[in-house]
Amino acid sequence: MLPSLECSPLVRRFGWVVLVLAFFAGIGPAAAYRFEDLEGKWCGDEKNKFVTNQIITRDSLTIVHRNNNNATRRFPVIGFEILPNRIRLNYRFNDRNTYVEYGNFSEDFQSMIQLPTTEGPTYYFTRC
């Protein structure tokens, strides 16, 4: 048998408010992602498997391969999705639709990661 829990009338009256606030406090800044948080020029970390810079706009994803004589590839963006804890960028690659996801943005949106996929590992970026 469970013990009976006694609490003051004040706790009984306002306890639900504390529970609701505690629940929403756990959501954090990820709930507020916008495309503008992702848009712009990002420089890849030197420790990434392939060191690239990325330029992200609503129309294109441009990838500059720094360890390959700055070879540049531009892919048309077909849309984006704001998802819990990440932003999915949908684009065309070799005549097929694909996507890449970004997340773990710093509070000031000056760093982020490209989330791992079945085709590649995690990549780390900072604003250029």
Is 33-127 assigned to CATH 2.40.128.280? yes
The mean pLDDT value of the chain amounts to 83
Q: What is the pTM of this model?
A: 0.74
pLDDT, tens only, 23-32: 333 444 445 6
User: Which residue ranges make up each domain of the chain?
Assistant: 33-127
In the chain, what percentage of residues exceed pLDDT 70? Answer: 75
Give the residue carrying structure tokens 């392939």.
Answer: 50
pLDDT of residue 120: 86
Beta bridge partners of 90: 79, 99
8-43 pLDDT, tens digit each:
554 455 444 433 333 333 444 445 699 999 999 999
The pLDDT value given to residue 19: 36
Helices (H), the chain: 9-25, 35-38
